Amino acid sequence: DRFKESKVYLRALFDYTPFEDKATPCQEAGLPFTRGDILQVVSQDDPTWWQAKRVGDSNLRAGLIPSRQFQERYTTKIIFFFTYVDLLENCSALTAGLRRSFRLSRKEHQGSTKESHPAESEENEFLIYEEVTLYQMRTQDKPRLVVLIGSLGARINELKQKVIAENPHRYGVAVPHTTRPRKSHEKEGVEYHFISKQAFEADIQSNKFIEYGEYKNNQYGTSLESIRSVLARNKVCLVDVQPEALKTLCTSEFKPYVIFVKPCIPEISREQKLSISIFLSSCEKDEDLQDMRQSAEQMEQQYGHLVDRVLVKEYSASACVELRNILERLEREPQWVPVSWVR
Ligand code: 5GP
């Protein structure tokens, strides 16, 4: 019913092209949008077609967008269609991409665990729209958590460390836990919290870590507490995590701002490839570029709906400057966040 009040803003979680939509009553009246666009809904009187404007558009006229309910039914039909096509296999690359994203929705559906982020909740199991509102950080508010996720080759740890080193009073890093022995120059609680294997195991069991992994027979992990302690000191906490951790972090407590750091991957034609093969072998091999491209695509497809900002990293130095600018703007300017974070 709150939709009737008109000041409803939605973040689109899918791309919509009216000219490709056979179901629309009038293609010219449709409002095209891409995932991530913010839509101001001006009428939801019709159960099938809502009227909306794109925020930031100079066009004052509202256009038609499919209602959540209608798009959900449509998505369900596509899932059934692709389940059938799955049996036949052999689809074009395009349909393969579509299938993957719908499979994801299906998996979330079957997984039935209710997540705290609206984009992951039952209401949004098909990733259609997410209700958002503008959030302006006030000086008395705790800083927001900044989550960096990166595809293969993005080297975000280096980026994060540089930005923190430039301004250690403003930015902080969550100190990880490890089971490896402390080196002589290291201090407890600075580089790591050094704990025993048993203690680490117990922490895993009690869900203390947002992520953990093994390296050379030692365990490493980042805890929720270590993030909280940075924020409690009124610093912006930067974490780089596996994107699976986003589910745990997308809460009103952390209000994470998610930056996807994507390496700049050159598009190379076959002819170019032959002529610059010597160059390629000295930096990035062709297969490496392929892997990087695939990793970025996969990340975008699976987690794109949770990303607030994409940072294309060409050079390390320019990426640092851009990241710093993004962080400064984050404190100065209001940002769209899920309504459930501020209610
Ligand atoms: P080192 O023992 O040399 O300090 O770190 C070795 C490696 O452990 C790092 O290169 C990194 O890959 C991994 N590592 C460090 N901190 C963490 C963490 O919080 N989580 C995970 N999964 N790995 C970490």
For the Cβ of 183 lying below 6 angstroms from any atom of ligand 1, the answer is no
Strand blocks (E) in the chain: 8-12, 38-43, 49-54, 63-66, 129-135, 146-150, 171-173, 177-178, 193-194, 209-215, 218-223, 236-240, 257-263, 309-313, 335-338
Quick one: which of 307, 321, 312 has its CA closest to 262? 312
Please tell me the predicted confidence (pLDDT) of residue 59.
79
CA distance 262 to 310: 7
Q: What is the pTM of this model?
A: 0.80
CA of 196 to the centre of ligand 1 (A): 16
CATH value of 174-234 in 3.30.63.10, 3.40.50.620, 3.40.50.11930, 3.30.565.10:
3.30.63.10
CATH number given to 140-170+235-333: 3.40.50.300
For the Cβ of 176 lying below 6 angstroms from any atom of ligand 1, the answer is yes
Sequence ranges of the domains in the chain: 1-135, 140-170+235-333, 174-234
pLDDT single digits (tens) 102-136: 444 444 433 333 333 444 444 446 789 999 999 99
Nearest CA, atom 6, ligand 1: 215
CA of 215 to the centre of ligand 1 (A): 7
Helix axis angle, 93-111 to 286-303, nearest 10°: 50
For the Cβ of 220 lying below 6 angstroms from any atom of ligand 1, the answer is yes
pLDDT single digits (tens) 274-331: 665 555 554 557 778 889 999 999 999 999 999 999 999 988 889 999 999 999 999 9
Nearest CA, atom 15, ligand 1: 220
Residue pointed to by tokens 């080297």: 155
φ, ψ dihedrals at 267, nearest 5°: -85, 125
pLDDT single digits (tens) 47-101: 999 999 999 988 778 999 999 999 988 777 777 777 777 666 555 545 545 544 4
Q: Which is the closest atom of ligand 1 to the Cα of 177?
A: 19
Residue pointed to by tokens 């009124």: 234
**Which of 182, 190, 215 for a ligand 1 pocket mutation test, highest count of atoms within 8 Å of Cβ?**
215
Tokens of 264: 């700049």
Averaged confidence pLDDT in the chain? 84
Tokens of 98: 């579509």
User: Residue 67 to residues 1, 3, 16, 45, 242: CA-CA distances in angstroms?
Assistant: 14, 11, 12, 10, 33
Alpha helices in 50-183 (DSSP H): 68-88, 93-111, 156-166
CATH value of 1-135 in 2.60.120.330, 2.30.30.40, 1.10.10.10, 3.40.50.880:
2.30.30.40
Nearest CA, atom 8, ligand 1: 215
